[in-house]
Structure 1
Amino acid sequence: MTDPCATPDFTAAETVSEAAPPPLRASEAREAAAVFVAQLNPAPSARAVQNLVLLSSELVTNAIRYAGGVTALSFGADQGALHVRVVDPSPTHPQCRAPDLTGRTGGFGWPMVLRLANNVTVHRHGSRGKTILATLAR
């Protein structure tokens, strides 16, 4: 059985990019996503670009807020899909929480990730953290 979160072998028709160093803020993740998609030819749809930027921001925000930071951020693309992969040091699976309508404590990020992405996988690395891979249509 293959690991769905392992870095795939990209063919000539696919592109992959890793943000180095890993982002310390969501704004850095948004910038890395924008830089990645600007290099793609043909360009993804405007909606796909917006969704990738938002997914990247939410996944990095959640990793910083709840999982102790981001240890890796990478992007991939093929003819039909865009991928964002975030690795963090916490083995805890993301949780859906009741949204705080006052806006002080969140609760909107993980449900948003699940709605925006066509597919989301979470792969635990034992006690050494996890990888979240979100895929959306190009």
Structure 2
Amino acid sequence: MVHVEESEGRESLFGGQISVSAAFEGSEEIAEARDLARSFLTDVQAVHGLPVSARAMDIVQLVVSELVTNARKYAPGPCLLTLEVSGGAVEVTVWDSGPVLPIAKAADPDRVGQHGLEIVMAVCRSIEMHREPVGKRIKAAVVLADDPGGDVTGRLV
């Protein structure tokens, strides 16, 4: 079951919060999470007039897919996805009920799978992981636009 909630209430750099949230309960809904991300960024561009590069569109969908997949795979119960525009980036936040923070594994060319967190860490401007009173929250930021030369802007190393 997916529940979507849009918000534009709080003040932000763009005159109002630009965000959307949805709860996901089944692994079959991971595609719906990607669709929500694509739709949200399309609206950010068309309705709010903010630039969203094709690269950002692809990377946000990838990050959403990886984080929601991990939440559905390793934590019982639903997960909550929130997408919010802040400081020239989209913040992808996933909450789930699992208390264990994920750890990126050491590079291993023979390992099949379990590269999701490594990928997210490589393509995002920043990533934060926090334990919550119940579960954990992971927030990854993806820059919305590339500079005119095609380079990624805003990457924090």
Alignment TM class, shorter chain as reference: 0.7 to 0.9
Q: CA deviation at 1:95?
A: 1.9
Moved more, 94-103 or 57-66: 94-103
Gapped regions of structure 2 (runs ≥ 5): 1-9, 145-157
Counterpart check, 1:60 vs 2:60: no
Question: Aligned pair in 2 of structure 1 residues 100, 89: CA closer, same or farther (>3 Å)?
Answer: farther
1:47 maps to which residue? 55
AA aligned opposite 2:55: R
Gapped regions of structure 1 (runs ≥ 5): 1-8
Measure, in 2, the Cα distance between the counterparts of 1:70 and 1:101.
32
Counterpart check, 1:18 vs 2:18: no
1:5 maps to which residue? none
- Report the identity percentage: 31
The answer to whether the 8 A contact 1:13-1:78 is kept is no
RMSD: 2.0
Q: CA deviation at 1:79?
A: 5.2
AA aligned opposite 2:140: A
Three-state SS of the structure 2 residue aligned to 1:96 is: coil
1:134 maps to which residue? 140
Three-state SS of the structure 1 residue aligned to 2:36 is: helix
Counterpart check, 1:38 vs 2:38: no
Measure, in 2, the Cα distance between the counterparts of 1:72 and 1:113.
18
Instruction: Tell me the number of residue pairs that the alignment of Structure 1 and Structure 2 aligns.
Output: 126
Match of 2:122 among 99, 104, 115: 115
Moved more, 38-47 or 111-120: 38-47
Q: CA deviation at 1:59?
A: 0.2
Question: Aligned pair in 2 of structure 1 residues 69, 32: CA closer, same or farther (>3 Å)?
Answer: farther
Match of 2:97 among 89, 97, 104: 89
Cα shift readout 1:12-48 (whole Å, capped 9, x = no counterpart):
25411112x4253321211110111110122400001
The structure with higher relative contact order (CA 8 Å, sep 6+) is: 1
1:27 maps to which residue? 31
Question: Aligned pair in 2 of structure 1 residues 69, 115: CA closer, same or farther (>3 Å)?
Answer: farther
Measure, in 2, the Cα distance between the counterparts of 1:61 and 1:100.
22
